[in-house]
Structure 1
Amino acid sequence: MEEDAAVSSSFTRHTCLKLDLPVEDPKAKDAVFVKATWFPSRFDLAISDGLDAWTCHASEAEVRLRAEQWDLPVAEYIALAEHYLGFQQPGSKYGFEDAGNGQRRLSWTFEKQGTTLEWRWKCQPSPNNKQTTAGILDFLMDANIRLSEEVVRKTQSNQKLKSEAEKCLLQSERFSNEKVEFESAVYTKFVAILNSKKAKLRELRDRIAKKGTAGKASKEDDSTDGTESFDEGSDDEIVKAEPAEETVGDLPGSSEAAASSGLRTRKRTRK
């Protein structure tokens, strides 16, 4: 039994809704507070308008019967009821009408598959209006305290995050300035190195140009000397060739003249 109670308490949820009800006079306002305690298979309601109070104890058997009528599992029926009684839904029409004998009927509508459906639960007058109303006020006060504490924690956390964000912003600005300074220094060094490399390249280019000019000049001198020696040699050949033209052997008919001259000499000798 104790284990069942512990499990049941672990699944128990509490909600409190200020329900604004429609009235005939548009300027008038009517509201009630609906405190609900949700169990896995049932729920309890405590309703107060500040003066009178009502209660509704939905038993497991009654909830199961209602769920079967709507073709819903019990858990889904409880979840759907909590959805509309935990927070006032703008698309739903709520009612808290007199049901006679001091009873009230709490109702709300919802849409399902294009059809408007309405759920109703009858509430009995509270046996102790002050106690029921005090219970609702205590719950609201406790919830307000918890909410205030949560707001304080969130505010402190927000301030801490804001302080850290400011530190990160300052650090980011410092890193940005250091980056700019570093890039400027690196660029200055790079320009100096680039200029020195350019100067060396110019010097090498000038050296190569000078060597190329000297090489061309030496080649031109060598070609000039070779031409003069060739011309001198050809002149010698011409000079040497001229006496050869005056020899007898080179003239046409010289062999015949030599032969006739020899015959004449022989004839004279015989005589």
Structure 2
Amino acid sequence: MEPTPRHSCLKLRIPNQSEPIFIKATWFPSHFHLSITDGLHAWLCNASEDEVRERAAQWDQPVSDYIALAERFLGFQQPGSVYGFSDAGDGHRRLSWTFEKEGTKLEWRWKCGPSPDSRSTTAGVLDFLMDANIRLSEEVVIKTQSFERLKVEAEKCLALSEKFNNEKAEFESAIYAKFLGVLNSKKAKLRELRDQISKEETTGKLLQEEDESTDKTLSFDVESDNEEIEEESSKNLTGTSKHVSTSRPRGRKRVAPRGTSLA
């Protein structure tokens, strides 16, 4: 089954010719058909697979590349290319165009024969253009409607975005105000705690100094008392020894235990 062909139609202006020509092309993977009209006369070019293969071999190209390059130049008029549609005798015309390859300017030519029914060929080209115009018009209408819908949706989205931005700004302002209140309260509390700690430290130092002073006083008093007690004890001992030595009975002999002798 042959693949679905592609179609194109080119309005081609030829140098030194007042009226343009229209080239309707039908492209297949290995061959193509051309229908050409100037509005009064019409020509046909049916490039067979053998002819296309031969031309592609002459240019050292695959058939697919040859078809793609021909479609490029006959689907849209390429700037810099010189097109021609000259008389080839017996009612035939020679369609040509130039292109550059590796810095060399080359020219392709295809001979077109007169259409057996110029009116039918011209009508076919005009029908294709009308159908293409209708399709394009429908696409324009569809795209315009789609654009309008997108525009409305975009405006709605823009309005919602502005609303969200305003609500976000209000929310952030409220949150920031609450945050400042909490922050200031925390700062005040920290200042109170710091002052309280400072007061407690000052009070603790004063108490410590008083305790140290009291300890020193008590130590001094204890030492004084100890000295007085020692002095008193010493006096008592001295008096007692004197009393004992004076009250000891004289002339009392010591008795030695048995088995011992007195020296």
Q: If the length of structure 1 is used for normalisation, what is the TM-score? A: 0.79
Alignment of 1:108-187 (within 5 A): 108-187=97-176
Asked whether the equivalents of residues 96 and 107 of structure 1 are also in contact (C-alpha less than 8 Å), the reply is yes
Residue 210 of structure 2 aligns with which residue?
221
Residue 85 of structure 2 aligns with which residue?
96
Among 33, 36, 41, which residue is 1:52 paired with? 41
How far apart are the structure 1 equivalents of 2:219 and 2:53?
132
RMSD: 2.4
Q: Deviations over 1:172-220 (max 9, x none)?
A: 1111111111111111111111122122212222221222222122122
Q: Deviations over 1:8-52 (max 9, x none)?
A: 4x2x111100011111xxxx7431111111122211111111111
Q: If the length of structure 2 is used for normalisation, what is the TM-score? A: 0.82
How far apart are the structure 2 equivalents of 1:124 and 1:146?
31
Aligned length: 236
Among 9, 15, 25, which residue is 1:22 paired with? 15
Question: Partner amino acid for 2:31?
Answer: R
Alignment of 1:4-19 (within 5 A): 4=1, 7-8=2-3, 10=4, 12-19=5-12
Gaps of 5+ in 2: 235-263
Among 78, 81, 87, which residue is 2:76 paired with? 87
- In terms of mean alpha carbon deviation, does 116-125 or 71-80 score higher? 71-80
Asked whether the equivalents of residues 22 and 30 of structure 1 are also in contact (C-alpha less than 8 Å), the reply is no
Give aligned-pair identity as a percent: 64
Question: Partner amino acid for 1:17?
Answer: L
Q: Deviations over 1:105-145 (max 9, x none)?
A: 00011111111111101111112221111111111000000
Residue 59 of structure 2 aligns with which residue?
70
Asked whether the equivalents of residues 108 and 119 of structure 1 are also in contact (C-alpha less than 8 Å), the reply is yes
Residue 205 of structure 1 aligns with which residue?
194
How far off its partner does 1:225 sit? Answer: 2.3
Gaps of 5+ in 1: 245-271
Secondary structure, in 3 states, of the residue corresponding to 1:172? helix
Q: Deviations over 1:209-244 (max 9, x none)?
A: 222222122122222223334444566649977xx8
How far apart are the structure 1 equivalents of 2:224 and 2:50?
145
